[in-house]
């Protein structure tokens, strides 16, 4: 990566500059809305749905919510990661020269989306790419990385196991490390989606009758993103600071995958996570750089977690109602909005009768029919009863999609 001495400051201005730099290499992904999902988000959960949860026996929250979805599943390689990868590679070329970067090559570790993103960015500039992937990575993500011409090295699933193999590759090849999330160049690149999201929602509200959650509101009140290593959440939070739009993070709770939430509660970063959550893109802990941003409430207003069932139910809604293919990691933010009563009470309390326009990021769509089938087969016959019950009130089964 570029030297930390020459790294850009973590500011909105840096993200604006990064956006101009990577625009030729990324898609302007659409923003969709769904009347059905906004209705579900604005409907209190049933007492039965809260049984067995920390909120059992409590009165359900009654927030008023309008949802907007930034569809990074339609991004190049099917995920937001190309933003950080192209920014990092172009910054590296500017610092070292294209010839030197080609001579040495680049290396990273990733479960799949950053792997594919860096492989694509490297291929674009004829740079050799070495990608360290956990052996349990999704086969489609391995195939996608290999299709970009990268050399794949397999490792264990923890960040420590991945980093050990990266060190071996660097020793043998001299390749330059491009981390998956914990570097200013990556964080700043990922933050470019927030610039687009903010503007696209303002344009949608200005040009679509009845789309706003309340009269007089011009744009978003909050953005919630999935959080694994924290690069996307950090970048979005930096881009949104000072705009009046609040940033939130979302994690799986399974087997301690909610390290950011637990770290915030304990007051220190958790450095190791070993989980097999179905949200495979969120199996890594926060890094030092991302922790600095996420632990600062001037940037991030809170991080919330959800269960595997919550994730499956949210994924099912998106597949069936929005007709949108997403991977499990992509719907963790939506899952928090629908099912986490702490978050829902926060919205009810702070938005009151006015409600909030909430932006959620669909971070990626790199999955397969076989993988989706297995996720729901493993879940047995769970069908997301609350969502089905709400939809059954009016018999509507088709979500409204509005492209930005």
Residues 152-199: pLDDT tens digits? 999 987 778 888 999 999 999 999 999 999 999 999 999 999 999 999
The predicted structure's pLDDT at residue 267: 96
DSSP state of 61: P
Our answer to whether residue 309 is catalytic in this structure is no
Residues 253-280: pLDDT tens digits? 999 999 999 999 999 999 999 899 999 8
How far is residue 315 CA from its own chain's centroid? 14
Average pLDDT over residues 318-346: 97
Burial class (CB in 10 A: 0-12, 13-18, 19+), 381: exposed
The predicted structure's pLDDT at residue 213: 63
Sign for the CA dihedral angle at 153, 157, 159, 165 comes to negative
Indicate if the pLDDT at residue 85 is higher than 80. yes
Residues 186-242: pLDDT tens digits? 999 999 999 999 999 999 999 887 776 666 678 999 999 999 999 999 999 999 999
Is-contact 54 310, C-beta < 8 A? no
The predicted structure's pLDDT at residue 1: 66
Is-contact 172 152, C-beta < 8 A? no
Query: Which pLDDT band, with edges at 50, 70 and 90, does 389 fall under?
Result: very low
Residue among 70, 81, 90, 141 flagged as catalytic: 81
Residues 12-56: pLDDT tens digits? 999 999 999 999 999 999 999 999 999 999 999 999 999 999 999
The predicted structure's pLDDT at residue 379: 76
Query: Which pLDDT band, with edges at 50, 70 and 90, does 138 fall under?
Result: confident
The predicted structure's pLDDT at residue 91: 96
Domains (ranges, CATH) in the chain?
12-78+186-391 (3.40.50.1100), 82-179 (3.40.50.1100)
Indicate if the pLDDT at residue 324 is higher than 70. yes
Helix axes 82-96, 192-207, angle to 10 degrees: 130
Angstrom distance (rounded) from CA 269 to CA 296: 12
Our answer to whether residue 111 is catalytic in this structure is yes
Average pLDDT over residues 136-163: 88
Indicate if the pLDDT at residue 398 is higher than 70. no
DSSP state of 6: G
The predicted structure's pLDDT at residue 139: 85
How far is residue 1 CA from its own chain's centroid? 22
Residue among 111, 137, 157, 253 flagged as catalytic: 111
**In the predicted model, what is the mean pLDDT of the chain?**
90
Among the listed ranges 231-235, 278-282, 350-354, 382-386, which one has the minimum average pLDDT value? 382-386
Angstrom distance (rounded) from CA 170 to CA 63: 51
Residues 99-132: pLDDT tens digits? 999 999 999 998 788 999 999 999 999 999 999 9
Is-contact 367 113, C-beta < 8 A? no
Indicate if the pLDDT at residue 136 is higher than 90. no
Give all strands (DSSP E) within 128-255, no chain letters: 129-134, 151-155, 176-177, 222-226, 246-252
Helix axes 12-22, 231-240, angle to 10 degrees: 110
Indicate if the pLDDT at residue 4 is higher than 80. no
């Amino acid at each position: 990566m570029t030297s930390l001495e020459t790294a850009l400051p973590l500011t909105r201005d840096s993200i604006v500059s990064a956006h101009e730099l990577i625009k030729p290499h990324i898609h302007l992904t659409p923003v969709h809305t769904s009347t059905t999902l906004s209705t579900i988000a604005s409907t209190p959960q049933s007492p039965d749905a809260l049984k067995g949860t920390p909120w059992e026996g409590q009165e359900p929250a009654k927030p008023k919510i309008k949802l907007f979805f930034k569809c990074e599943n339609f991004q190049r390689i099917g995920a937001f990661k190309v933003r950080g990868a192209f920014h990092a590679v172009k910054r590296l070329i500017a610092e070292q020269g294209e010839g030197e970067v080609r001579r040495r090559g680049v290396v990273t570790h990733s479960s799949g989306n950053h792997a594919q993103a860096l492989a694509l960015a490297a291929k674009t500039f004829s740079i050799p790419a070495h990608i360290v992937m956990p052996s349990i990575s999704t086969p489609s993500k391995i195939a996608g990385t290999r299709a970009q011409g990268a050399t794949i090295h397999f490792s264990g699933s923890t960040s420590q196991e991945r980093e050990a193999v990266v060190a071996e590759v660097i020793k043998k090849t001299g390749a330059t490390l491009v981390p998956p999330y914990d570097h200013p160049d990556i964080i700043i690149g990922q933050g470019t989606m927030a610039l687009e999201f903010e503007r696209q929602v303002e344009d949608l509200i200005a040009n679509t009758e009845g789309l706003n959650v309340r009269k007089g509101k011009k744009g978003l009140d909050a953005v919630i993103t999935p959080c694994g290593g924290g690069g996307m959440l950090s970048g979005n939070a930096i881009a949104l600071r000072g705009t009046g739009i609040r940033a939130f993070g979302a994690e799986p709770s399974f087997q301690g995958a909610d390290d950011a939430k637990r770290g915030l509660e304990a007051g220190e970063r958790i450095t190791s996570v070993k989980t097999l959550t179905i949200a495979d893109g969120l199996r890594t802990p926060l890094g030092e750089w991302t922790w600095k941003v996420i632990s600062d409430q001037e940037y991030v207003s809170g991080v919330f977690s959800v269960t595997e069932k919550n994730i499956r139910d949210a994924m099912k809604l998106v597949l069936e109602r929005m007709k949108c293919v997403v991977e499990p990691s992509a719907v963790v933010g939506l899952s928090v909005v629908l099912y986490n009563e702490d978050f829902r009470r926060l919205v009810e309390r702070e938005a009151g009768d006015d409600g909030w326009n909430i932006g959620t990021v669909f971070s990626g769509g790199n999955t397969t029919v076989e993988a989706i089938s297995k996720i729901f087969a493993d879940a047995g016959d769970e069908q997301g009863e609350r969502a089905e019950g709400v939809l059954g009130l009016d018999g509507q089964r088709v979500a409204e999609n509005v492209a930005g």
